[in-house]
Structure formats: structure tokens, C-alpha cells
């Protein structure tokens, strides 16, 4: 039986998300490799968060605001008085269009900036944060009428894409055939620009509840 990321601890989840195939599923020329870059970024972030190099600013509640970076001048010196956040660079992702049917079905994809991606992976796979995510999904799965068939699958043989397709086939296509014996109609819907239209504040709302998120916002 296939294992999903919800069965991983925070360390294994971090390792999974830092794989090149987890970073993007967009088919690119074979000579384009992201693994070396992802590994270097991850190592550098780990280095910056150790010992004296750890940077932390506290809000009025005394809570550390993370992540935080310091701007450098032209000589590479850090300006301790000016801090910047990933939210200051929302337009750094690489955009590309693909065509679905050779006619008018154009779809926009974005490659997340590698630094922002790796930094996010580091944050969500901290032990406490990862446990919060797992707990939230346990609550989501209490409703048997709602099934998420796109939770990433962890391959035991290194090819997660193949196993992901197999899981999709079992949970969606085969299940649709079974339900077809019981129902006369099936309703399909899609959301245009789904990920780009997500209101980002709703993510912590979903995991922690809206009230909790608002009380603890940085």
C-alpha cells in the first residue's frame, strides 16, 4: 500500500519536499537540474539559523517573527537596521504557459523561486509545525464524504509520479465507476487559476482556525 506524506515525521517530510520532483512536476529539458541548487540553498539556510548567525525580530507581543533577512549593501555587508521578508518579493516566481489542446486552452504555471520554496519547506517541517499540519488533516478526514486524492505519495522505489497516478486511478476513476452504479449523474467542476486565487490568510485559518490565527499573527 502506498504511503503518503501524512505518514512521515517532520524529518522525512523535509527530505521529501527537498527532492527535485517535489519542487516541480513541470516537464523541462533533461539538462535543467534543480537538485544542486536546492541542496545549496538548504545548507545555507541551515547555516544562517545556527548560533550567532540566527536573526530574529520580536513583535510587540515578544514573539519572534520568522523568517527574516537582512539587506546587504554593495560590498556585501549586512545592514542591521533594515530587514526584509519574502512577502516583499511576491513577483520573483518564473511564469510559463503551456497549451493543453493545441488551440485555446492555455494554462499558466509558476516555478516558485527556489529560495522561497526551500525556506517554506524548512518552516513547515519544523517538528511543532509539522505536527500541527498532521493534526489538521486528521480533522479534515473525519468527513468521509470529502476525499482529497492529491495528497503527495511517497514512492518506495524513487518514482513518486507513477505511484501518484496509480493512487489517483484507484481513488478517483475506479471509485467513480463504483458510484456510477448508484447514481445517475456526476458533476464536474474546476476553478480557474486555483492556486493563484487562494487567499493566503485562509491557510493558517484552515490549520489553526480563524480565531487562533488572528490572535497570533505577527
Check residue 79 and give its pLDDT. Answer: 52
Side-chain-facing half-sphere of 210: CA atoms under 13 Å: 2
Q: Which residues of 73-186 form beta strands (DSSP E)?
A: 78-84, 94-99, 106-111, 153-154
Side-chain-facing half-sphere of 127: CA atoms under 13 Å: 0
Nearest to 54 by CA among 37, 42, 66: 66
Check residue 78 and give its pLDDT. Answer: 55
**Helix (H), strand (E) at residue 137:** helix 127-140
Q: What is the pTM of this model?
A: 0.78
**213, 201 in Cβ contact below 8 A?**
yes
Instruction: Return the exposure string of 81-118: e unless at least 16 CB atoms fall within 10 Å of the residue's CB, then b.
Output: eeeeeeeeeeeeeeeeeeeeeeeeeeeeeeeebbbbbb
In the DSSP assignment, the letter for residue 68 is -
Check residue 13 and give its pLDDT. Answer: 96
Residues of the chain with pLDDT below 50 are 51-54, 67
Check residue 164 and give its pLDDT. Answer: 76
Check residue 53 and give its pLDDT. Answer: 44
* Omega before residue 67 within 30° of 0, cis: yes
Distance CA 43, CA 172 (A): 39
Query: Dihedral through CA 3, CA 161, CA 187, CA 98, nearest 10?
Result: 150
Amino acid at each position: 500500500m502506498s504511503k503518503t506524506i501524512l505518514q512521515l515525521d517532520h524529518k522525512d517530510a523535509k527530505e521529501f519536499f527537498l527532492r527535485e520532483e517535489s519542487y516541480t512536476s513541470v516537464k523541462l529539458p533533461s539538462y535543467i537540474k534543480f537538485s544542486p541548487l536546492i541542496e545549496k540553498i538548504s545548507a545555507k539556510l541551515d547555516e544562517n539559523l545556527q548560533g550567532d548567525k540566527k536573526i530574529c525580530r520580536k513583535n510587540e507581543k515578544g514573539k519572534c517573527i520568522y523568517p527574516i533577512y537582512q539587506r546587504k549593501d554593495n560590498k556585501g555587508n549586512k545592514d542591521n537596521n533594515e530587514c526584509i521578508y519574502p512577502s516583499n518579493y511576491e513577483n520573483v516566481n518564473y511564469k510559463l504557459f503551456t497549451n493543453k489542446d493545441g488551440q485555446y486552452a492555455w494554462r499558466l504555471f509558476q516555478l516558485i523561486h527556489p529560495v522561497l520554496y526551500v525556506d517554506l519547506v524548512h518552516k513547515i517541517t519544523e517538528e511543532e509545525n509539522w505536527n500541527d499540519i498532521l493534526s489538521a488533516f486528521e480533522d479534515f478526514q473525519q468527513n468521509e464524504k470529502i476525499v482529497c486524492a492529491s495528497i503527495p505519495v511517497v514512492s518506495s522505489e524513487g518514482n513518486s509520479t507513477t505511484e501518484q497516478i496509480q493512487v489517483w486511478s484507484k481513488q478517483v476513476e475506479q471509485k467513480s465507476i463504483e458510484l456510477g452504479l448508484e447514481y445517475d449523474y456526476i458533476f464536474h467542476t474546476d476553478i480557474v487559476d486555483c492556486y493563484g486565487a487562494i487567499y493566503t490568510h485562509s491557510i493558517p485559518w484552515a490549520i489553526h482556525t480563524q480565531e487562533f490565527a488572528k490572535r497570533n499573527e505577527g
